[in-house]
Structure 1
Amino acid sequence: MDRIIASRIRQDVQSMHAYAIQDSRGLIKLDAMENPHRLPPALRQKLGERLAEVALNRYPGDRVHELRAALARHAAMPEGFDLMLGNGSDELISLLAMACDVPGAAILAPLPGFVMYAMSAQLQGLKFIPVDLTPDFELDEAAMLAAIERHQPAIVYLAYPNNPTANLWDDAVIEKIIEAAPGLVVIDEAYQPFSSRSYIDRVARHPHVLLMRTLSKFGLAGVRIGYMLGRKALVREIDKVRPPYNISVLNSECALFALEHEPVFAAQAAQIREERGRIQRALGALPGVRSWPSDANMILVRVPDAARTFDGMKARGVLVKNVSKMHPLLANCLRLTVGTAEENARMLEALHASL
């Protein structure tokens, strides 16, 4: 087996680390930016009855097209645009790398940022160009523009808000980056339900800009539905590399059901935003802790000793994300997901006790 692996598996894949998912059994899970609220019992029953009628013996068909139309309405998609679906945003990121794999192509993104941008480039054999944020996690305008000029990337990713820093970036700088980009610019709005701003009202101004969103933060992380919208001609070309049945009938039906009950999820998002403010106020009273403003359902904090604090919180039954080794700018940083009021109270108690 070792010989087969050594001779038949790509060397760069052998040297990679798989995407790490923490074991959360028995812990309050505040490490993955999930919506902590489940559907009310009555809606769970209705959804179960509806899923029972799905034709599992058939490939996905018209209901997927109905989901695309429902998401277009939900996102207020501009005229002349189209929308494609992915098995989560992760698949869309991989498909973009595949579609743009022309000789010499590169993918550029600011760091620290979402790890899948770099991973998709590596797996497709593309060059990844990282550009560090400023120490306050803002876009470094001069460095971004210089990197674009030098490397002429096929894709520039801009998360809005960013993960793991949770902040929105200066719109004027984003516009300059878009104008300078020779290829695609992907605005990743994964955390849009919790954000004070969206790029949707400006995306139509730029034919090379794609807007990517997901239903994971909407409240359906387990359903795995990502979607991307842009000019019809552009989306049509990228959609050619999508597997024909990448969205299951069960996932489609769950997503349609959720969109039909959108006010329930909007109320959950409002609760999360309210809890986010309460956490941020409480963090301000903790000695030795610095937190940054958030437009997502997570808060980045810097503590005196991230490893010790992470371990202490885990020992007290609360799982967060230690991001301190992801990038030098994140030294001694933890990422806290906003949970329910009870979970957040437990998290703050554990954090205070573990400092």
Structure 2
Amino acid sequence: MTSTASTDSTVNALIQRRIRQDVQSMHAYNVQDSKGMVKLDAMENPHRLPAELQEALGRRLGALALNRYPDGRVNDLRQALAAYAGMPEGFDIMLGNGSDELISLLAMACDVPVAPGQPKPAILAPLPGFVMYAMSAQLQGLDFVGVPLTADFELDVPAMVQAIETHQPAIVYLAYPNNPTANLWAEADMVRVVAAAQAAGSIVAIDEAYQPFSSRTYLDVIRANPAANANVLLMRTMSKFGLAGVRIGYMVGPKALIAQVDKVRPPYNISVLNYECALFALENQEAFAAQAREICAQRATLLGALRALPGVKAWNSDANMVLVRIAGEGDPAQKVFDGLKARGVLVKNVSKMHPLLAQCLRLTVGTATENAQLLKALQESL
């Protein structure tokens, strides 16, 4: 036996003995290779910082003491984000290395041991939805309960209420707007689901990742009726704000509840580079707000153009993405995806994620030039 073969055998035996079986059967989160492509697959803000702001940020980051652990400056960011979001009275704020870390930490904090013979704690969310909700449950050894949306991607409120009553979940996730469908659910439907969760003793995590492009925020509902929303945590991210590479997520909620979840947060989870970039962005938030307004304007133009194409259905969007369904026999979404990619445009094929998404692609809203390239490639690929 060669040395390499011996090493492989030892490693494989170690994996089988020490790595969880469910982890072995999982697939890692896939990031598509976008080199040389018009990148419209990941809901990123397509605009870079203006040159003068790039230069100012570079000087600021260059002066940081990278030899030291993050310090109290991180609390300056917490205060700045609380002010930016208009955090309600009696709430506190917790930071994460992107929203993904907050989702994982919340599952960790809510993994309550159960008596023998009792069902495991569960995480519940509408489907189709953000994949990290289910993944966080699986990684933490919790059950995941998915409740299908309606055919038009609205909340099935009776089904949600029934599932909450039956499963008594630890956490209910509501993405507002939803990913990948990009729509905002009716406020009255959200209120009913939150009330059902409160009656069941469930935490509701409302994920407002796409808030910069949304026409509403659930924070207004929370401010209007704090008691009815005492079980609600609200998450946001600076990724869609324009800092996807910086990895800053934040979660606000009642102080006592945030204090408990914060106990499982790793120390120094926000680097000095990350928090200084985020503070700089908040100090120059009008530049990012202007970018968001431009993206919303481009979204309206893109939606109009998509709806003029035969064989394409485009849903309304309150995010920086548009969900489309491609008509045709066989696997039209894959055919169009391949056609776009061959023409240098990368989007997300979500047609296999859930039966409700059959024949669907998710398109990120780009710049005017990028959207024109997308539309041209789409027309040629249909």
- Distance in 2, matches of 1:130 and 1:213, equals 22
Among 158, 166, 177, the residue aligned to 1:142 = 158
Matching residue's letter, 1:110: P
Matching residue's letter, 2:334: A
Contact 1:203-1:211 at 8 Å conserved across structures: no
Q: What residue number does 1:246 align with?
A: 269
Among 339, 362, 371, the residue aligned to 1:344 = 371
- Distance in 1, matches of 2:73 and 2:96, equals 15
Deviation at 1:2, TM superposition (A): 1.1
Point out where structure 1 has 5 or more consecutive residues left out of the alignment.
none
Determine whether 1:236 maps to 2:259: yes
Among 262, 268, 272, the residue aligned to 2:295 = 272
Matching residue's letter, 2:307: G
Q: What residue number does 2:41 align with?
A: 31
- Distance in 1, matches of 2:78 and 2:378, equals 42
Q: What residue number does 1:303 align with?
A: 326
What are the superposed Cα offsets for residues 174-215 of structure 1, whole Å, 9 maximum, x if unpaired? 111111112100110000000000011222421110000000
Q: What residue number does 1:101 align with?
A: 111
- Distance in 2, matches of 1:292 and 1:183, equals 31
Determine whether 1:285 maps to 2:304: no
Determine whether 1:161 maps to 2:177: yes
**1:192-231 correspondence to structure 2 within 5 Å:** 192-204=211-223, 205=226, 206-231=229-254
Superposed CA RMSD? 0.6
Contact 1:203-1:210 at 8 Å conserved across structures: no
Among 343, 352, 355, the residue aligned to 1:325 = 352
Corresponding residue SS for 1:201: helix
- Distance in 1, matches of 2:73 and 2:367, equals 33
- Distance in 2, matches of 1:252 and 1:203, equals 27
Among 84, 103, 111, the residue aligned to 2:127 = 111
Identity %: 70
Determine whether 1:11 maps to 2:30: no
Determine whether 1:86 maps to 2:123: no
Matching residue's letter, 1:290: K
Determine whether 1:71 maps to 2:90: no
Q: How many residues align?
A: 355
Matching residue's letter, 1:255: A
Deviation at 1:62, TM superposition (A): 1.2
Deviation at 1:19, TM superposition (A): 0.6
TM-score by length of 1: 0.99
Determine whether 1:186 maps to 2:208: no
Matching residue's letter, 2:77: L
Determine whether 1:22 maps to 2:45: no
Q: What residue number does 1:40 align with?
A: 50
Among 167, 172, 179, the residue aligned to 1:151 = 167
**Larger CA deviation: 200-209 vs 113-122:** 200-209
Contact 1:322-1:335 at 8 Å conserved across structures: yes
Corresponding residue SS for 1:202: helix
- Distance in 2, matches of 1:132 and 1:116, equals 16
- Distance in 2, matches of 1:202 and 1:235, equals 19
What are the superposed Cα offsets for residues 233-286 of structure 1, whole Å, 9 maximum, x if unpaired? 000000000001000000000000000000000000000000000000001110
Please list every run of at least 4 consecutive aligned residues from structure 1 whose deviation after the TM superposition is greater than 2 angstroms.
none
What are the superposed Cα offsets for residues 42-61 of structure 1, whole Å, 9 maximum, x if unpaired? 10000000001111011111
Among 171, 175, 189, the residue aligned to 1:173 = 189
- Distance in 1, matches of 2:88 and 2:271, equals 27
What are the superposed Cα offsets for residues 53-81 of structure 1, whole Å, 9 maximum, x if unpaired? 11101111111000000000000001111
Corresponding residue SS for 2:172: strand
Matching residue's letter, 2:25: S
